[in-house]
Amino acid sequence: MLIDSHCHLDDERLSLGLEAVLGRAKENHITGMLSIAARFEEFKSVIKIAEKYENVWASLGIHPAEAGKENPSYETLLPFYGHPKVIGVGEGGFDFYYADKATDFERQRDLFLTQIHLAQDLDKPLVVHTRDAEPETRDILQSEFKNKPFKAIMHCYTGTWDLAKDMLDLGFYVSASGVITFKKADDIRDVFSKVPMDRLLVETDAPYLAPEPYRGKTCEPAYTLETARRLASLKGVSFEDLADQTTFNFKDLFGL
């Protein structure tokens, strides 16, 4: 069994054929999924899917790319986390690939801080998105952790070993996506070869980032299998051991 620790089941590309998507996930040994809301307007639809399916949980947050458009307050967001299937906060973080750092830094920081404070106060793991923003990500997570420790996942990790190591030092988990199967991803495979087994997670980020040999297609949770297979060979362990360990890690982290 495997758990897809990050997918967007409310995205139309998946939600319009959700029964079939979940059926193929089951056939491919995916026994659980964490469905992520990345915009405030998605919160209700993501919760609805988690309510309907026993093996789907929800994490609610606002992606940094939305920072210019959305900035709901801590008080506005808080009530949504009382739902029993809502087990995480985020995805939130920094992204200066799509946004300009000079104009967007403060907006992204404020939005991320709100989500960090929710994770701290509610003791729910934070799902971190970071792209082209390593110093900013390191600074905020380290200083906030010093104020009040919290748990976190570095989702779809494609950064450096330096940042991964600092995040592991805080007790955080690092999640591998289909990117580790891409031909030109030697650097990120090198990072994952060093991440300890007890801090590893696997994910698809579906409908984005389909792994080889499905690259370019709509990604879906069933493809967690390809990423897990590649990760197992990278770590020099059997597929079963990789699957068991990452499933244990997910359940342990989220207290399931």
Q: Tell me which residues touch Zn ion (CB under 5 A).
A: 205
Residue type, 210: A
CB of 36 to Zn ion, least distance (A): 5
For residues 178 and 210, is the Cβ–Cβ distance under 8 A? yes
Residue 91 or residue 136: which is nearer to Zn ion going by CB? 91
Residue 96 or residue 232: which is nearer to Zn ion going by CB? 96
DSSP string, 167-236: HHHTT-EEEE-GGGGSTT-HHHHHHHHHS-GGGEEE---BTS-PPTTSTTSPP-GGGHHHHHHHHHHHHT
Which regions of the chain does DSSP assign to beta strands (E)? 2-7, 30-37, 56-60, 86-95, 126-131, 152-154, 173-176, 200-202
Residue 12 or residue 75: which is nearer to Zn ion going by CB? 12
CB of 91 to Zn ion, least distance (A): 5
Residue 118 or residue 209: which is nearer to Zn ion going by CB? 209
Query: Residue number with the shortest CB distance to Zn ion?
Result: 205
CB of 148 to Zn ion, least distance (A): 25
CB of 6 to Zn ion, least distance (A): 6
CB of 43 to Zn ion, least distance (A): 15
3 state SS of 69: coil
Kindly state the greatest CA–CA separation across the chain. 47
CB of 37 to Zn ion, least distance (A): 10
Residue 10 or residue 205: which is nearer to Zn ion going by CB? 205
Residue 95 or residue 205: which is nearer to Zn ion going by CB? 205
Give which of 221, 243, 200, 174 is closest to 35, Cα–Cα: 221
CA dihedral 163, 164, 165, 166 (to 10 degrees): 50
